[in-house]
């Protein structure tokens, strides 16, 4: 991974408290992000996971998995074709920020009236 991407990731993680793990394999590219859930404070932050997967030879089709460690649910998004792994990481970071903005509008969660 290029030093410029490592620096970009470090800055992104510090500014947004989102932890990002990019993987460049021979056959496909993966970016996994752990986004803090809004309203959750304290030592143990609850995070929402999101993972983006595409083939290095793909035409911009990206497999998106929400909470990949908890569910097997996924959908396909069509992004601009990525000429390089570094460009895919940059586009994934932009998409992560969209997810962060969406989560800011959500309630922090909890069990509500369903808890016994």
The pLDDT value given to residue 95: 95
pLDDT tens for residues 1-38? 677 888 999 999 999 889 999 999 888 999 999 988 76
Q: Compute the distance between CA of residue 61 and CA of residue 104 in angstroms, rounded to an integer.
A: 27
Domain ranges of the chain: 3-37+46-81+94-105
The pTM (predicted TM-score) of the whole model is 0.80
Q: For residue 58, how many C-alpha atoms fall within 13 Å in the half-sphere facing its CB?
A: 24
Q: Give the C-alpha distances (Å, rounded to integers) separating 12 from 37, 67, 110.
A: 17, 20, 28
pLDDT tens for residues 74-91? 999 999 998 899 999 999
């Amino acid at each position: 991974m290029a030093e410029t991407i490592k620096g970009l990731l470090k800055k992104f993680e510090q500014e947004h408290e989102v932890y990002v793990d990019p993987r460049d394999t021979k056959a496909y590219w993966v970016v996994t992000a752990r986004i803090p859930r809004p309203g959750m404070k304290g030592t143990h932050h609850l995070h929402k996971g999101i993972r983006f997967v595409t083939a290095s030879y793909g035409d911009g089709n990206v497999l998106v998995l929400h909470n990949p460690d908890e569910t097997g649910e996924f959908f396909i998004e069509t992004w601009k074709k990525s000429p390089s792994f570094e460009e895919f990481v940059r586009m994934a970071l932009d998409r992560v920020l969209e997810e962060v903005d969406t989560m800011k509008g959500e309630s922090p969660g909890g069990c509500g009236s369903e808890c016994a």
